[in-house]
Amino acid sequence: VLVVSAMTNYAEGLSDTPLSHEQTLSCAALAADDFMRLIRELFKTL
């Protein structure tokens, strides 16, 4: 079993300013390329 996740709203609750859903989506989009690269490399080794 392999689990991969991304922290897209890590700072939620640490600031007086609430985070928006758009900010969460933006962080997820930034991580998408790295995740795809990770998954491709993982499957090459299987």
- Is residue 2 a part of any domain in this protein? no
**Domain range spanning residue 28?**
19-46
Q: How many folded domains does the chain comprise?
A: 1
Question: pTM for the complete prediction?
Answer: 0.57
Give the long-range contacts of residues 39-44, CB within 8 A, separation 24 or more: 39/4, 42/2
The whole-number pLDDT of residue 15 equals 75
Torsion of CA 35, 38, 43, 44, to 10 degrees: 140
pLDDT per residue as tens, the chain (46 positions): 888 887 777 667 777 877 888 888 888 898 899 999 999 999 999 8
The whole-number pLDDT of residue 44 equals 94
As a whole number of angstroms, the distance between CA 32 and CA 16 comes to 28
- Is residue 36 a part of any domain in this protein? yes
- Is residue 10 a part of any domain in this protein? no
- Is residue 39 a part of any domain in this protein? yes
6: left (phi over 0), alpha (psi -120 to 50) or beta: beta
